[in-house]
Structure formats: structure tokens, C-alpha cells
Amino acid sequence: MENETTGRYSIEDFIKNTGEKDLGQGGFELERDRLLEVNLNGMVWTKRGSMVAYTGDIKFIREGILEHGLGKLVKKSLTGEGVILTKAEGQGKLYLADEGKKVSVLKLENESIFVNGNDLLAFEDSISWDIRMMKKVAGMMAGGLFNVKLEGTGMIAITTHYDPLTLRVTAEHPVFTDPNATVAWSGDLEPEIKTDVSLKTFVGRSSGESVQMAFKGKGFVVIQPYEEVYFQAQT
């Protein structure tokens, strides 16, 4: 048992307390809040570099250049290959994580959602996807702001720094967000990009302008309490 003064475990108790548990949640299980378990029997798409362990007979194949058609290849070249996926095929248990970020699992039922390209961890093969890019911010953020539209029926996993917060968008109450803190939004929303030189928080730091995403209509927006300024870091 754990020693109350030192916080140490015996090996047997450590294994018992930290070991993998069958949660019975289906294809995607939150084994820990920062670790996704995929009960694989077929194929899923995963963010490249997100595999931390697996058991069983699983093969990993980076997506082919023309696998999703010429249109997506062109978009990937514009976004600097911002969305790089790996196929995981076979049978077994696959464990995924992304820099210790918190994982959330969503089930789409003939629905659609936009996810920031850096925050997409995995999705089932039954989900169709496409890359979208907000060209207006391309001059302010290195590579622009790209996201992925996922639609259909199946499971997806997204990641956030710390706990996500979901804000409802209505016609009476639009929502304005910092692009670097925006993780996902409902598929029927089309955010507008607006700039404001009066705000103190600058995206792109050297641009002298603050970039905001304006969500109007009906839906939801997922944000995180963290500004992910990885766009500038890639330049």
C-alpha cells in the first residue's frame, strides 16, 4: 500500500493504481484525461507523432501525397502541411497523447464540427474531413489560420491546454475569441475575422493589430485558457 508520509507505492500497488482499465466506452476511451485509448479493429486517422504505445498487430502509415485528392494536397501546401495525419490499421489497443494536453472525445451523429488543425488528435475512418484556411489572417499569422471540418457519424478526439470551455452562440449573443485560444466550433458557423488596433493583446505581436474571430448565428465555440502561438513559431 501507499506510504502516507512518502507517497510511495510497492511495485504491485503502483501497477494496480496506474494500470490500464477496460472502461467499456467503445472505440475511443479516455484512459486518462490526457491519454486516449483506441480499441482498434480496422483503421483510424491520428495526428502524426501522437502514438505513445500500442498492443496487438497495428501498422502505421503516413498518408499518401494524393490520398485525399489534389485539392487537399494544394491546401496542405498552403498551410505548410499543418495537418499531417498517420493511418493506424489493424487490431489492438492504441494509446495517443499530444504534449500532455487534455483530451476530449466527441461523438458526431450526422453532424459537423470545425477543429483547429493543431488540436485534432484522432478520428474514425467513417468521418469525412477537409482543410479550411482563413486567408485574411495569412499576413498576420505565419501560415495563416487553418482548421479541419469533420462531418458524418463517428468518434473524434480533440486536445486542449487545460480544461476547455464551450460558449453558446446565438443571434442575440455573438461570441468573439482570440484565434490562438480557439479550439473548435460547430459546423454551421462561419467565423469572421476582424482586427482591432486598440486592444493590448496582439496576435502576431509585430503586426500592431489584434485579430479576433467573430462568431454570429447559432451554435457553439470551444476555447482553452491558453494562447497557442505556434503559428509564429514555425516561421
Which residue, among 171, 177, 207, has the nearest Cα to 193 in the 3D structure? Answer: 177
Distance of CA 77 to the CA centre of its chain: 20
Q: At a CB cut-off of 8 Å and minimum separation 6, what does 6 contact? A: none
Helix (H) / strand (E) element for 18: namely helix 11-18
pLDDT of residue 78: 40
Question: Dihedral (C-alpha) 139, 168, 116, 104: value to the nearest 10 degrees?
Answer: 160
* Torsion over CA: 113, 119, 124, 130 (sign): positive
In this prediction the pTM is 0.82
Reading the chain (235 residues) residue by residue, the pLDDT tens digits are: 545 556 688 899 888 888 888 777 789 999 889 999 999 999 999 998 999 999 999 999 876 544 554 445 444 444 444 567 889 999 999 999 999 999 999 999 999 999 998 899 999 999 999 888 776 555 555 445 678 899 999 999 999 999 999 999 999 999 999 988 999 999 999 998 887 766 555 554 444 457 789 999 999 999 999 988 644 433 3
- Residue 5 burial (CB count, 10 A): 6
3-class DSSP state for residue 141?
coil
Under DSSP, the state recorded for 136 is G
* Torsion over CA: 68, 71, 74, 75 (sign): negative
- Whose cell is 490499421? That residue is 89
Say how far apart CA 132 and CA 72 lie, in whole Å. 9
Helix (H) / strand (E) element for 197: namely none
